Amino acid sequence: MELDLTRLGAADELRVRVEELSGQRLAECYQCGCCTAGCPTAFTMELGPQRVIRRLQLGAGEELLELNTPWVCASCETCYTRCPKGVSVADVMDALRQCARMSGISPPESAPRVFNDRFLGTMRRHGRVFELEVGLFYNISSGDFFNHITRLPSLVFNGKMKPFPDRASRSARKKIRRIMERVARLERGEDVAVENAKGAGE
Ligand code: SF4
Ligand code: SF4
């Protein structure tokens, strides 16, 4: 993907939003590249973590949100453990995903979006992740019905994947659904400040 270099340094809006959401100070990064060198998914990224940080430092705009990079980040935090400046790139990627959703920008490839939707769907239903359901629904939604299906019996047999959901309590599920509804409204740009204030008083 081409980045709009004419916009670099023009607004800095995205950097400010990402710093607020992630709690990271991007000026701390001195571009050593340790994050990209250790990142297990960098080979699939349109722009590696180090370069994403650099673009943000320079004031890149929303074209950065159209990259696949934040969506293929596995949040493994290898970058954080390697970063000599303590920058949590995983939190930066998370902030970029939030910014993309708030701007109505979908991941460039459908797989991460489908996986995210299936993952959140299972959280909404059970209050906890139910991997078997995520995997099966992902295969159905993506049309790749037999993706890793031969591994399923051994995963279940060896206790790596539960055959039934381990559901959270009813009240915990209710709280999770409320959080998800608030996030959905935030993503639509609705004002949830009043409700937040109400929730804080509960
Ligand atoms: S490891 Fe840290 S300092 Fe080095 S490039 Fe990555 S974020 Fe910047
Ligand atoms: S958290 Fe994301 S960016 Fe960092 S090493 Fe893991 S996959 Fe790469």
Residues in contact with ligand 2 by the CB-under-6-Å rule are 35, 38-41, 49, 73-79, 89-90, 93
**Of 102, 122, 144, which marks where a domain is finished?**
102
**Domain check: are 18 and 95 in the same one?**
yes
Range of the domain at 165: 110-200
Question: What is the predicted pLDDT for the residue at 148?
Answer: 85
**Domain check: are 96 and 117 in the same one?**
no
Report the CATH number that the domain containing residue 89 is assigned in CATH: 1.10.1060.10
Q: How confident is the model at residue 18 (pLDDT cuts 50, 70, 90)?
A: very high
Residues in contact with ligand 1 by the CB-under-6-Å rule are 29-35, 50, 53, 82-85, 87, 89
Number of domains in the chain: 2
Question: What is the predicted pLDDT for the residue at 42?
Answer: 92
Question: What is the predicted pLDDT for the residue at 116?
Answer: 80
**Domain check: are 29 and 118 in the same one?**
no
Question: What is the predicted pLDDT for the residue at 105?
Answer: 86
**Domain check: are 21 and 89 in the same one?**
yes
> In testing the pocket of ligand 2, which one of 35, 67, 77, 78 has its CB within 8 Å of the most ligand atoms?
78
Neighbouring CB atoms inside 10 A of 114's CB total: 19
Q: Is the per-residue pLDDT at 200 higher than 60?
A: no
**Domain check: are 167 and 89 in the same one?**
no
Q: Is the per-residue pLDDT at 174 higher than 80?
A: yes
Rounded to an integer, what distance in angstroms lies between the CA atom of residue 52 and that of residue 37? 14
Rounded to an integer, what distance in angstroms lies between the CA atom of residue 28 and that of residue 121? 37
Summarize pLDDT for 20-48 with one digit per residue, the tens.
999 999 999 999 999 999 999 899 899 99
Query: How far apart are the CA of 4 and the centre of ligand 2, in A?
Result: 24
Summarize pLDDT for 110-153 with one digit per residue, the tens.
777 788 888 889 999 999 989 999 888 888 887 888 888 888 89
Whole-model pTM?
0.69
**Domain check: are 17 and 92 in the same one?**
yes
